[in-house]
């Protein structure tokens, strides 16, 4: 089965540094998502992306965050100045169509971000 | 709003034991309900789903029934195996978004 690939699997950074999390969605998918899970908490929606622009974003997705599809295959999440509370597992996901009753998300294996 | 609450873990069971992981939801409209599973080192994978009330989703011996009257979607398996050890996430799809629970870690010991 096709899969979503995320790199790196683990990222350690100092507070205030910029990080870029990378994802390669499934090739014929059109909708892309970032979710995160802080340890012990729910998996939270961050942002969805379609047709080279953000379609929806949550309150968490503030000005520190940005997403980009730089080359037609990669989908990146950038955190400009990391904070301790950004430490979490970040999941990328993609779908062929918008989230509907019959659609499922394909997830990557996640990037564990640790901010020190 | 839309949200999912699932039973906290971790859950530890012996092989061949019966499994129940509780999940309840709050939603506007008529959501679809899902169980996702995450095996160690892998991404979340769809385990089963149900799209309307009284539907039963099933896969790999796991089952869950969409109960509108109790707003629940409990996951069950009659006889667990060591290979079922994973984290299980209940989720709903509504308003063009997915909403997840916290996940329940299951460890099955031989």
Is the pLDDT at B93 greater than 90? The verdict is: no
Contact A109 B43 (CB under 8 A): yes
User: What tens digit of pLDDT does each residue of A23-74 get?
Assistant: 999 998 989 999 999 988 888 999 999 989 998 899 999 999 999 998 878 9
The pLDDT value recorded for residue A70 is 86
A105 touches chain B (CB under 8 A): yes
**What does the alpha-carbon distance between residue A77 and residue A68 come to, in Å, rounded to a whole number?**
7
Burial A44-74 (b: 16+ CB within 10 A, else e): bbbbbbbeeeeebbbeebeeebebebeeeee
The pLDDT value recorded for residue A100 is 60
The SS3 of residue A84 is helix
**A36 CA: distance to closest CA in chain B (Å):** 11
- Token pair listed for A79: 């955190």
Which of A55, A101, A110 has the highest number of chain B CBs within 10 A, making it the mutation to test binding with B?
A101
**B30 CA: distance to closest CA in chain A (Å):** 9
The gap from C-alpha B52 to its chain's centroid, in whole angstroms, comes to 16
A42 contacts in chain B (CB < 8 Å):
4, 100-102
A103 contacts in chain B (CB < 8 Å):
93
Of all residues in chain A, what percent carry a pLDDT higher than 70? Answer: 96
All residues at 6 or more sequence positions from B73 whose CB lies less than 8 Å from its CB, including other chains: B23, B24, B25, B33, B35, B50, B64, B65, B66, B67, B90
Contact B103 A91 (CB under 8 A): no
Of all residues in chain A, what percent carry a pLDDT higher than 90? Answer: 66
Is the pLDDT at A99 greater than 70? The verdict is: no
Of all residues in chain B, what percent carry a pLDDT higher than 70? Answer: 99
**Minimum-distance CB partner of A91 among B30, B44, B93:** B44
């Amino acid at each position: 089965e096709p899969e979503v690939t995320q790199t790196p699997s683990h990222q350690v950074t100092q507070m205030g540094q910029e990080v870029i999390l990378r994802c390669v969605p499934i090739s014929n998918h059109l909708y892309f998502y970032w979710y995160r899970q802080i340890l012990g908490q729910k998996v939270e929606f961050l942002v969805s992306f379609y047709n080279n622009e953000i379609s929806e974003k949550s309150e968490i997705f503030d000005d520190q965050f940005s997403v980009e599809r730089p080359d037609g295959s990669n989908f990146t999440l950038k955190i400009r100045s990391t904070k301790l509370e950004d430490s979490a597992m970040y999941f990328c996901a993609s779908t062929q169509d918008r989230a509907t009753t019959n659609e499922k998300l394909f997830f990557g294996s996640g990037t564990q971000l640790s901010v020190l | 709003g839309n949200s999912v609450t699932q039973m906290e873990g971790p859950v530890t069971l012996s092989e061949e034991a019966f499994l129940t992981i509780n999940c309840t939801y709050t939603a506007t409209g008529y959501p679809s309900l899902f169980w996702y599973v995450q095996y160690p080192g892998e991404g979340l994978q769809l385990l089963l789903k149900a799209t309307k009330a009284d539907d039963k989703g099933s896969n790999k011996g796991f089952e869950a029934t969409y109960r509108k009257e109790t707003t629940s979607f409990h996951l069950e398996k009659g006889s667990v195996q060591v290979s079922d050890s994973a984290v299980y996430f209940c989720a709903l799809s509504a308003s063009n978004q997915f909403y997840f629970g916290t996940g329940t870690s299951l460890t099955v010991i031989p």
